[in-house]
Amino acid sequence: MQGGNGIEAVTVGLILLVNEDNRKLVSNENPLYLLLKLVLRDWNDDSRVIKQIERTIWKRSKRDGWHFIYIFSLFADQYEKEIMKNRDLSVDTFLENNKEIVAQVMKKDPIDATDIDFTKLSKVAIFTIISFVSADMDEACTIAEVTKDIAMEITFADKNSMKEERRELIGYTLNYVVWFADVLLHCDDEGRKILVDSFLESVDIIGNDNTEHLLTWLIQEQELYGKIDEFWKIWELLKPRMIELSNEKERFYYSNTNRPVGKDRIIISYLFANSAWRTNIHRCALLSEERAAFFDDFIDNSGSLKAMFYALAKLLNTVGMDPYREKGIEWIYKLVEKDSECKATLYDHTLFYLEEYIGSFVARHRMEFRMDAKLAQKTQIILEYMVSQGSQIAFFVREQI
């Protein structure tokens, strides 16, 4: 069953009706009991009922939130098993057959994450429980921690393991990537470090596409929630592994195009160059002038030359144009120094981005080059490098210095 606006309104109404007089009843007079019936009929990865529960129940009552996911954890898998044996089994009959257990569960209070035995649950049930918990609540960090060994393994580890299971769970894992990004942005520093460390232990950072999806979602979601400081704490926690990755030997990837693959694609995403920035936006709150030190450090320690050339050249033509228009020349010069013999085959579009940036830089500083020999020399070396890489535009711009 997939409900529209009507069932969503019913879901919210039931949550709002829960009170001390009805919460322990084993009948349709208990809104939580009716809510369980709705969910058992509809707990797919795109359930509107579940989305509405997630949006409403925790803000209404954390006690009800824990109570509901505990009840679900006890009956979800059992109901699925029994309905596979008997397709005619209704939710009402199932709950009636388990009335004594339901009564015990309804009376249990208080409840928290320690009451739920995730090791005995199916993967689908685990991901469904996760989806019940709003990412901006403290409880989300708790759920993320207690489910990390299972959920992160399925979502971020080697995609060739458990292939069949992963295929069946793809909708849930895509939802989990977004949810996990939001949790990282909302949880406290201690919880954030625990989760990032667990992610780095679990992840097949190159082989699993969800790594790139997570980086992209973090960039996108921080803008939605205004979580700039929290975002940079995550980015700094990831940075040592990203620098380590950039210095690893590249795995072999067959490609008939000269586009980033493997570790370079991850590095480019980490350096903000795979995000869908709006056209003609040359500044954003996330990338302020003060964040230039992040790029300085990464350039000094990273070994992914082609990835950095592409990412920084693109950044200097998009959201990094205004804050880093002057700093960018130092970054490009450092990269050129790392490839002084011009052995790197730059990725497609890298030269275009470099031509756009350097052309604009030379036009702005044309009169200064005579008085600043050091700046003129650095710019000249960059242009010589670009000419060696096949840039005809750099050949003509060089004459303006």
Q: Are residues 157 and 101 in the same domain?
A: no
Residue-wise pLDDT tens digits, 15-64: 999 999 999 999 999 999 999 999 999 889 999 999 999 999 999 999 99
Contacts of residue 363, defined as CB under 8 A and 6 or more positions apart, other chains included, come to: 400
pLDDT at 2 over 60: no
Q: Tokens 């797919």, residue?
A: 44
Q: Which residue has the higher pLDDT, 162 or 115?
A: 115
Q: Are residues 227 and 97 in the same domain?
A: no
Q: Are residues 259 and 208 in the same domain?
A: no
Domain boundary (100, 133, 166) is at 133
How does DSSP assign 322-342, residue by residue? TTTTTTHHHHHHHHHHHTTT-
From 96, 93, 14, select the one nearest 49 (Cα to Cα): 14
Q: Are residues 32 and 140 in the same domain?
A: no
Query: Global pTM?
Result: 0.92
pLDDT at position 401, please?
77
Q: Are residues 106 and 184 in the same domain?
A: no
Q: Is 245:204 a contact under the CB 8 Å cutoff?
A: no
Q: Is 397:362 a contact under the CB 8 Å cutoff?
A: yes
Residue 126 DSSP SS3:
helix
Residue-wise pLDDT tens digits, 258-278: 888 889 999 999 999 998 888
Q: Which domain holds residue 76?
A: 1-133
Rounded-to-5 percentages of helix, strand, coil across the chain = 65, 0, 35
Domain boundary (213, 246, 279) is at 246
Q: Are residues 173 and 78 in the same domain?
A: no
Domain boundary (221, 246, 271) is at 246
Q: Are residues 297 and 396 in the same domain?
A: yes
Report in angstroms the alpha-carbon separations of 386 from 113, 296, 318: 58, 21, 20
- Give me the amino acid identity at 362: V
Q: Is 379:369 a contact under the CB 8 Å cutoff?
A: yes
pLDDT at position 288, please?
96
Q: Tokens 């509405």, residue?
A: 52
Q: Are residues 285 and 361 in the same domain?
A: yes
Q: Is 349:311 a contact under the CB 8 Å cutoff?
A: no
CA torsion through residues 136, 139, 145, 146, sign: negative
How does DSSP assign 22-72, residue by residue? TTT-SSTTSHHHHHHHHHHH--STT-HHHHHHHHHHHHH-HHHHHHHHHHH
CA distance 298 to 145: 30
Q: Is 169:127 a contact under the CB 8 Å cutoff?
A: yes
What are the CB-based long-range contacts (under 8 Å, 24+) for 226-234?
Answer: 227/185, 227/186, 228/285, 228/286, 230/184, 230/185, 230/186, 230/192, 231/185, 231/286, 232/291, 232/294, 233/189, 233/192, 234/184, 234/185, 234/192, 234/196
Q: Is 234:275 a contact under the CB 8 Å cutoff?
A: no
pLDDT at position 399, please?
84
From 333, 241, 328, select the one nearest 287 (Cα to Cα): 328
pLDDT at 1 over 50: no
pLDDT at position 105, please?
92
Q: Are residues 267 and 241 in the same domain?
A: no
What total number of domains does the chain contain?
Answer: 3
Q: Are residues 392 and 259 in the same domain?
A: yes
Q: Are residues 129 and 142 in the same domain?
A: no
CA distance 196 to 111: 27
The dihedrals phi and psi of 279, each to the nearest 5 degrees, come to -60, 140
Mean pLDDT check: name the lowest of 74-83, 151-160, 321-330, 337-346.
151-160
CA distance 333 to 356: 16
Q: Is 177:127 a contact under the CB 8 Å cutoff?
A: no
Q: Are residues 21 and 128 in the same domain?
A: yes
CB atoms within 10 A of CB 172: 23
Question: Token pair for residue 331?
Answer: 């970054």
pLDDT grade, residue 159 (50/70/90)? low
- pLDDT-above-70 percentage for the chain: 95
